[in-house]
Amino acid sequence: MAATPALNPEDVQRAAAALHTPDIDGWANRFELLSDGNRLRLLLCLHHAPDICVGDLAAALDMTGTAVSHALRLLRNQGWVSATRDGRSMRYRLTDDTVHELLHTIGATHYHNHDHTGAEQER
């Protein structure tokens, strides 16, 4: 298939320079993971309630533990989520700074609680 002839070679050159952006395929994979509503909801839960276990995530999301575990596995493989063992259960948290910032961009907030003095603490 022949390429379309350029009307303005300078515009073509400027546009083609954008394709040198680092890791286009990596960004496409990120957006693919974010495009699933359940995974996005799960990320929002992890953002708001770090160190939560699978059962509690499943209850919050009204999903099965199996479905949550599968989504967490995908997110861990991408490096967005980490887990720590707490006795017999695993606790999950969001670890990717870029995803963290993206969640803030769409309006995600952190959980705030108040200590016994009434001072607000961010978690």
Find the DSSP H helices in the chain: 9-17, 24-34, 37-48, 54-61, 65-78, 97-105
**pLDDT tens across 13-55, in order?**
888 888 887 788 888 888 898 899 999 999 999 999 999 999 9
Separation of alpha carbons 83 and 91, rounded Å: 5
Q: How confident is the model at residue 118 (pLDDT cuts 50, 70, 90)?
A: very low
Conformation bin of residue 72: beta by default, left when phi > 0, alpha when psi is -120 to 50: alpha
Across 97-116, average pLDDT: 79
Q: How confident is the model at residue 2 (pLDDT cuts 50, 70, 90)?
A: low
Across 80-84, average pLDDT: 96
pTM of the predicted protein model = 0.76
Q: Which option is the CATH number for 34-106: 3.40.50.1240, 1.10.10.10, 3.20.20.70, 1.10.3720.10?
A: 1.10.10.10
